[in-house]
Amino acid sequence: MTDTAIRVRGLRRSYGPNPAVDGIDLEVSRGEVFALLGPNGAGKTTTVEILEGYRRRDAGEVAVLGVDPRVADARWRARIGIVLQSTGEFEELTVAEVVRHFAAYYPRPDDPGAVIERVGLAAKQGARARTLSGGQRRRLDVALSIVGRPELLFLDEPTTGFDPQARRDFWDVVAGLTAGGTTILLTTHYLHEAEALADRVAVINRGRILDVAAPATLGDRHRQPATVRWQGEDGPREVRTDTPTRTVTDLSARHGGEVPGLSVTRPTLEDIYLSMIGASGPDTPAPGESG
Amino acid sequence: MTVDSGRRVGAHPEIGTERAGSALRIGALRGRLEVLQFFRARESVVFSFLFPVILLVIFGSIFDQRIAPDVTFTQYFVAGMIAAGLFTTSFQVLAIQIPIERDRGVLKRLAGTPMPRSAYFIGKIIMVLVSSLAEIAVLLTVATLFYDVSLPVTAGRWLTLAWVSVLGIAACTLCGIAFSSLPREGRRAPAMVTPVALVLQFISGVFFVYTELPGWMQQVAALFPLKWLTQGMRSVFLPDSFAASEPAGTWELDRVALVLAVWVVLGLVLCLRTFRWTGQER
């Protein structure tokens, strides 16, 4: 048993002449929530599906929970959980029926009732799947992927199409799993989702990793100049500075206390992300890449 | 890096047995789920399950003439409709349902779990068997109550009904699973499968008396399992005197068994070679 959940070295995969994944290295620790960020066609889904054992790779070393997914068996599958992008195929079955059924696939399943409770579907136990809302279906997906008590959970764009409240509720579910020690690999194009959930994020574009860091330090975000804004006598003013504290102290002295309309901001994760993606060239989706 | 020794599960006979046991157990659970889903979905009950019954009522009510001294067209048609009913609950249902499941990621999701892959097929077979049995029961009930068809009286005929049904269902089930690899998208499956099923029913002696069809059409039909399944059913439900009116002058039950068995093997080979758990990797 090692502390590494996922280790990837020099991963490559092309569809015809187009490289979708062009030499990726990754290392995810046990218990970590790791997010892959990138535009559509960046190589996220190809990478994740290789790790899940769904797709072949052309080159590179991959170990997921110490096993090469290409030759993995049912015992390895019992240790991982997968939430796919697609959802909602159980139509006429009830939530409880589906979760109980999936529990039977696993050697040491969790209690289906407790799992349904944990994903917040207790009130919907007896409801048929087709009557669930989009957010509730996604939570059913999560219930199915965690009922086997996985060590590692893959979440592929789990909240696409959610309203803000449903997204917050979903984050709470994920936070609960993390507290239980589950390692999570998340792909998303919502930056605030990565910021809310991930310990570390990797930004991926055109099949390559541009940076891997904690959301707070991605792209040297914490060392970027701060912007101080306030309401001057002849309109709004702003100053970019490496020493915002001194700027604010000076302003305060000049105004004799309170500075009108004062704010101090650092670049958001989105600002950093967009400048990284922009600098790495235009996005040309490779075929076979849906996310 | 730790190497999971479980990868070589096949090398340990006791673990292999345990896996086979769990495949049967989980297969049975899947069967229960599939049957629930089939009978809870109104469209599958009405359009797959009840459709042969509707056809039986329509044709049984329209055509009343005798096609032989002691055989009415309705009796001939009932035998054909039971064969066609089995063809529907096995071939047609699977050839439409599986591409849709593949398209929606049902298969992909299952392939991502430790479920033994054979359990999926065991579940489908259970669903087909249950719905086929129910189909035969409903068709026979309607036919005996309203259309002057009598149930087989000898044990031999019941036995024929049993083996022809089992072999026919096996062949059509495997062909349905194999056919499911053809549609590129789930939503195209009904449009591809329905004409195939209809044409086969027209040329195999379900809607028309087989011997009255043009020779070339009979020869085409004889290549496919439905013609033989239909003929086998006639040997169960029509008087022995009618055997003389069959193309070969007998029921040709040995030929029925042979052709259906060949389709079982062919279907199995096609399934093993073409079945995909995920949509095409583009």
For residue B17, the model assigns a pLDDT of 63
Residue B25: list chain A partners with CB under 8 A. 104
Q: Exposure pattern of A176-213 as b/e (b: 16+ CB <10 Å)?
A: ebbeeebbbbbbbbbbebbbbbbebbbbbbbbbbbbbb
pLDDT tier at A134, thresholds 50, 70, 90: confident
For residue B281, the model assigns a pLDDT of 56
For residue B4, the model assigns a pLDDT of 39
For residue A88, the model assigns a pLDDT of 64
Query: Quick one: which of B222, B233, B224, B225 has its CA closest to B163?
Result: B233
Residue B27's φ and ψ, nearest 5 degrees, are -60, -40
pLDDT tier at B7, thresholds 50, 70, 90: very low
Q: Which residue would you say has higher pLDDT here, A288 or A13?
A: A13
For residue A286, the model assigns a pLDDT of 45
| Per-residue pLDDT at A2 exceeds 70 | no
* pLDDT tens, residue by residue, A194-239: 999 999 999 999 999 999 999 888 888 888 888 999 998 888 999 9
Residue B36: list chain A partners with CB under 8 A. 92-93, 97
* pLDDT tens, residue by residue, A91-122: 899 999 999 999 999 999 999 999 999 888 99
The gap from C-alpha A122 to its chain's centroid, in whole angstroms, comes to 26
Q: Which residue would you say has higher pLDDT here, A183 or A91?
A: A183
For residue B62, the model assigns a pLDDT of 85
| Per-residue pLDDT at B13 exceeds 70 | no
pLDDT tier at B219, thresholds 50, 70, 90: very high
For residue B280, the model assigns a pLDDT of 62
B40 Cβ under 8 Å from any chain A Cβ: yes
Residue B109: list chain A partners with CB under 8 A. 82, 84, 89, 144
For residue A282, the model assigns a pLDDT of 53
Q: Distance between CA A49 and CA A288 in Å, rounded?
A: 12
Q: Distance between CA A86 and CA A101 in Å, rounded?
A: 19
Query: Measured between CB atoms, which of A15, A76, A104 is closest to B29?
Result: A104
In contact, B160 and B235? CB cutoff 8 Å:
yes
What is the Cβ-side half-sphere exposure of residue B108, based on CA atoms within 13 angstroms? Answer: 24
- Beta strand pairing status for B71-72 and A80-83? unpaired
A130 Cβ under 8 Å from any chain B Cβ: no
> Phi/psi class of residue A235: alpha, beta or left (left: φ > 0; alpha: ψ in -120 to 50)?
left
Q: Distance between CA B198 and CA B190 in Å, rounded?
A: 12
The interface pTM score, or ipTM, of the predicted complex is 0.84
Residue B3: list chain A partners with CB under 8 A. 66-67
Q: Which residues contact A170 (CB under 8 A, 6 or more apart)?
A: A135, A138, A139, A142, A158, A159, A162
Which of helix, strand or coil describes residue A100? helix
Determine whether the interchain pair A54/B109 forms a contact, defined as Cβ–Cβ distance below 8 Å.
no
Enumerate helices (H) and strands (E) in chain B, giving the number of each.
Answer: 12, 2
Query: Quick one: which of A171, A187, A180, A97 has its CA closest to A146?
Result: A180
* pLDDT tens, residue by residue, B96-114: 999 999 988 899 999 999 9
A 10 A CB-CB count for B270 gives 16
In contact, B164 and B225? CB cutoff 8 Å:
no
* pLDDT tens, residue by residue, B115-155: 999 999 999 999 999 999 999 999 999 988 888 788 888 99
Q: In the predicted model, what is the mean pLDDT of residues B31-35?
A: 94
pLDDT tier at B31, thresholds 50, 70, 90: very high
* Least-confidence region, from B49-58, B63-72, B84-93, B163-172: B63-72
For residue A218, the model assigns a pLDDT of 87
| Per-residue pLDDT at A288 exceeds 70 | no
